[in-house]
A and B are shown apart, each in its own frame.
Chain A
Amino acid sequence: MAKPQPFNDVGLLVLISLAGGPKHGHSMLLDIDGFARVRLGPGTLYGAISRLEEQGEIEPIEQDGRRRPYRLTERGRRHLGIRLGSLDRTVRAGLTRTAP
């Protein structure tokens, strides 16, 4: 049987991680590995961070030494709620239909 593919919507993973509070890059990597079992690389993470910042869904806060933490914006929180709602409905439908 094929190994299940890890969840690969990196933008959504970053939004979920920041929904738990502001974090810098390394904290996000550890957090995402912890809740989703997905080990992102630094390039992939920063690709998602730059896109989410451009879309106004996350924003940097004051620098902590050489590290720069990010937080969710109101727009990002709203977008995350909509996407999680949609995912939740999809997962429920899938579980209902595959239940024995």
Chain B
Amino acid sequence: MIRLLLRLYPYKWRARYGGELIELIEQVGLGPRTVVDVVRAAARERRSSIGTLLAGGTSMRFGPAWRHPTGWAVAGAAVMAPTAAFVIGSLLAYQFGVGGVVVVMDSTTAWLEAQPRVVDLLLVLAPALALIIAAAPLLRIELRRANGGREAIIGLRLKLLNVAVGAGALAVGLLLLWHIVAEAVLSVGA
């Protein structure tokens, strides 16, 4: 419960004072009064860190993604995998006529048609979601005061696995889009 309460604080604050605060809460005991006090204090720290960000001179990044880029790349790949398999299978079966794959894709397509429309929607949205998940650890936005106003500088760092998964997601998304457009054109033509 104490560690859960601590999650309410901004990461930087938690990293510096978290251990000491836990120690103190253990000493005074975790009653309702302490819970309310800690929640209010954490909200003040959140407000203060947002204020610092908006005032400029601070860089913003999505902390969990920034700290675990490989995990996020793997998660992105997992999200994209079913759509990638479908797109690659379709290409092999219907563009290149690979015999064994045609049978598999025919039965897969038949199975998909029997599913609720939301499954189709998830398959279509998955590459976009995978791209966001894989790219999140690469992005840093810095807000600065400049010439009486504010400017935002977007920084990118290079993590090969994340870039590869992001590029794969983009390629799968574009192929899927092309497939959908081509089908729509063909159905209008017919």
Question: A26–B44 contact, CB under 8 A?
Answer: no
Report the interface size class on chain A: 10 to 19
Interfacial residues of chain A within 30-61, with CB under 8 A of chain B in the complex: 41-47, 49-50
For the complex, would chain B's binding face be called helix, strand, loop or mixed by DSSP majority?
helix
Contacts beyond the supplied A46-B17, A66-B23: 9 A-B pairs with Cβ under 8 Å: A26-B24, A41-B37, A42-B24, A45-B24, A46-B24, A46-B41, A47-B45, A66-B19, A67-B23
B42, CB-defined interface residue at 8 Å = yes
CA distance A41 to B33 in the complex (A): 8
A68 to chain B, nearest CB (A): 5
The proximity string for B residues 9-26 relative to A, scoring 1 for CB distances below 8 Å and 0 otherwise, is 000010011011101110
Is the C-beta of A15 less than 8 angstroms from some C-beta in chain B? no
| Complex contact A25–B13 (CB within 8 A) | no
Specify which of B16, B17, B37 is in contact with A44 (CB 8 Å cutoff).
Answer: B37
- Give chain B residues whose Cβ lies under 8 Å from the Cβ of A29: 24, 28
Is the CB–CB distance between B19 and A50 below 8 Å?
no
